[in-house]
Structure 1
Amino acid sequence: MEKGFPVFRQDMVIEEISEVANRYIESEWRSLYESMHEQLTAAFAEIEDAAYGLYLDRLMPIIFEQLEDAGFSTMEKLEENDFVIAKRLIFRNSLEKWGAEDNRSRIFWNVIHNKQGNPIGTLLTEIPHSHLKFDIPSAPVIYALQETVKERIVLGLRSMKESG
């Protein structure tokens, strides 16, 4: 296992998983952002918000891959018209309703299942970004939520965003 990779164990609860994932993001996000900034600024001029997907395609997959290596399931069955970034973030499982145009917040959710196929909770991945230029004003954040049913996940994340 390379240094810096998130390490997950099958006995972890959803809150522990989010803590490990956040430590990984905190250690990696800025250096990746700086190394890709010029390329992604140019991409933003052509493809706008899709440039953030190129960034997340590099930052996020290792988290999901390591979770799956530990025996967790992180992905639901894809539908025909699904748009997926970072190998596991499905746009239909996301909301973008918070923040100003230069600091918006999109939140994706992934229900996590253990080796036995039982849901243990949901990871919410918040991606701060600008619609005016390529900019990620702060680190992406992973939150843990006990809910595993879509309607309750949406209520939980709205409650989290609107109270904090």
Structure 2
Amino acid sequence: MADSKFVPGMSAEDLAAVIQNELASQWKQVLEENRAELESVFPELEDSTYGLYLDRLLPPIFGALEQAGYSGLGEVKDTDFIIGGCLNFSSSLEQWGPEHHRSRVFWIPVREEGRSEPVGTLLLDFFHSHAGFEVPEGPRITAIPAANRREIVAAVREWKEGA
């Protein structure tokens, strides 16, 4: 992101709107620029290939968020698998869609420097195929006020299942 659209004091919903605009404008371009390499490593790496894609898509967006004074990773353990510099694999669920159009939702609790309360939690819905390398649609992001794991998981299920 050349000019950050993140400013101090934004709500989680405002952050999600900026991120969604960036994702919508970048996901296909990043996919096509890296497609040959990603398709070639998919037979060996399988699902981990999508982590490589997200490693290329997300850092400019979430780097700009961090430069504006927001943080999303929180405490990282040695056993955590971090994707794109901002997604913790253990903070995700994958239970929706057929094999060729799976959905994995990552959650990213966001804090802002100088604020005692979390801004909220971003939910990133990433679509991918288990049948072969394909990203069938762009990632979607939304924001929720929940900050603890139980509430976040319930909100993810409600978002995906409409419960």
Q: Which band: TM-score by shorter chain? A: over 0.9
Shift of 1:6: 4.6
Deviation string for 1:90-113 (max 9, x for gaps)? 111000000000000011111001
Residue 144 (structure 1) aligned with residue 143 (structure 2)? yes
Give the partner amino acid of 1:154: V
| Match of residue 62, structure 1, among 60, 63, 69 | 60
Could you tell me the TM-score, scaled by structure 2's length? Answer: 0.95
How many residue pairs align between the two structures?
A: 162
Question: What residue is the counterpart of 2:104 in the other structure?
Answer: 106
Alignment match, 2:125: 126
Aligned equivalents of 2:137 and 2:153: distance in 1?
23
Matched residues in 2 for 1:92 and 1:115: separation? 24
| Paired amino acid for 1:124 | L
- Out of 126-135 and 32-41, give the one that drifted further: 32-41
Does structure 2 retain, via aligned residues, the 8 Å contact 1:6–1:20?
no
Structure 2, unmatched stretches of 5+, are none
* 48-57 or 108-117, which deviates more: 108-117
Q: Which moved more, 1:38-47 or 1:129-138?
A: 38-47
Q: Check if 1:23 corresponds to 2:21.
A: yes
User: What amino acid is the match of 1:139?
Assistant: G
What is the TM-score of this pair, normalised by structure 1?
0.94
Q: Structure 1 residue 80: deviation in Å? A: 2.1
Give, in whole Å, the separation in 2 of the partners of 1:86 and 1:40. 15
Q: Find the counterpart in structure 2 of residue 153 from structure 1.
A: 152
How big is the alpha-carbon RMSD for the aligned residues of Structure 1 and Structure 2? 1.3
- Structure 1 residues 90-99 or 111-120, which shifts more? 111-120
Counterpart CA distance in 1 for 2:126 and 2:90 is 15
CA distance in 2 between counterparts of 1:54 and 1:80 reads 20
SS of 2:90's partner is: helix
Identity level (%): 39
Give 1:13 shift. 0.4
Q: Which runs of 4+ in 1 moved over 6 A?
A: none
User: How far apart are residue 58 of structure 1 and its match?
Assistant: 0.6
